[in-house]
Amino acid sequence: MRRNTRSEQKSTSSLKKMTMLALNNTILGMSTRTRKLSKSAMLRENLPKRLKGRRDNDSLE
């Protein structure tokens, strides 16, 4: 009986570790995608300003 309890504890512990690793990977992946999306959004936000600046410079020449 005692062996079963120990083996159950080991498998539960292993399952917990694997679950935590999976959750950590998911969270890290989400933060990476969020960073990429925010950079993309900033680029899109700044693009019209850059284009406007170029048009103004072109009209001066």
pLDDT in tens, 7-54: 777 778 889 999 999 999 888 888 888 888 888 887 888 777 767 776
**Degrees, nearest 5: CA angle 16-17-20:** 85
Q: 42 is written with which tokens?
A: 């900033």
Instruction: Note the pTM of the prediction, 2 decimals.
Output: 0.43
61 vs 30 pLDDT, higher one: 30
pLDDT the model gives residue 59: 57
Instruction: Tell me which residue has tokens 């062996």.
Output: 3
Cα–Cα distance, 36 to 30 (Å, whole number)? 10
pLDDT of the residue at 31: 84
| pLDDT tops 60 at residue 57 | no
